[in-house]
Structure 1
Amino acid sequence: MNVMNRGKLPAFAVIATVFVLVAPACPAQVFKCVSGSGQASYQALPCENDGGRIDLPVRDPAPGEQAAARTRMRKEQGFVTDIESAREAARRSARAEQKQRDEERQAHEARCASYQERAERADADARMHLRRNRHKRDHELRARTLRDRYFSECFAAD
């Protein structure tokens, strides 16, 4: 589902917003280091070859910016909550559908086994009525009918 993938970005945005709001307001030290090949890199630790030091001022967000960030965070949290609710509803629906399919499959298997069992009993009954042709034919017909049902419902469905 495409809806599920969209929830990752707002969750990241919520976390980033929280870090911005909670981050302490202190000046950070950044060291610019130049390698032997002339490539510049920036890091939090002093350079091995005494690279230049840069102080980056960190400013506190204005109260209006903080309020706007909180409002955005609440909206994004609501969006994430909606996405999670939709995901959980989809999971519950999928579990219910799977359970229904399993129950239908079990009922189908039981019905197919019943056809075979009843056909075998009808054959046994037909063998017992060797002298009475009328009963023997009834049992044979019942066995044939059950085998036909077994074939048409149990093999044709697969």
Structure 2
Amino acid sequence: MKDSHVNVPRKLRIEQLVPGHWACNGTVAVRALPRLAGLCTADVGAENVAVVLQAVHTPAGRTGLAGTLSGRVPLRCERCLGVFWWSFDLPIALYFAPATATGVEADGDFEACEAEDGEWLELWSLLEDEILLTIPIAPRHAAGACRTPALAV
């Protein structure tokens, strides 16, 4: 997959997210997401994250983002220390609430994200957060798939 950042802005203003008028469909290189890139095995190149997002109204009428993030990254298997390609296909459902909001209300399947009109939303950082929250604590191959390293006798 070629490195690209096609149609995925690094950041945007919350008021740009007009349901029915804002959407993006593109990729972001894993190496452009420093915290995620830092978890990847250094000896194997990572791929791109496919991003499909659109501005929507939540069930309660709030402005939100919905879509998917998908891709795969090379992690170190905690069982055999070999390369483990972790694949992900994550649903995204977020709505935006001001920092001063008292209490976070449920809004269907949407999670609250602290942001206000007039502020810049660091979109790549937000997407990276969503991926990092789903990475296994101890990544490992499926049972029986590890290659046992050869022992020197």
TM-score tier by shorter-chain length is under 0.3
> Normalising to structure 1: TM-score of the pair?
0.21
Give 1 or 2: higher strand fraction. 2
Which has the higher Rg, Structure 1 or Structure 2? Answer: 1
> Normalising to structure 2: TM-score of the pair?
0.21
* Greater length-normalized contact order (CA 8 Å, ≥ 6 residues apart): 2
Give 1 or 2: higher helix fraction. 1
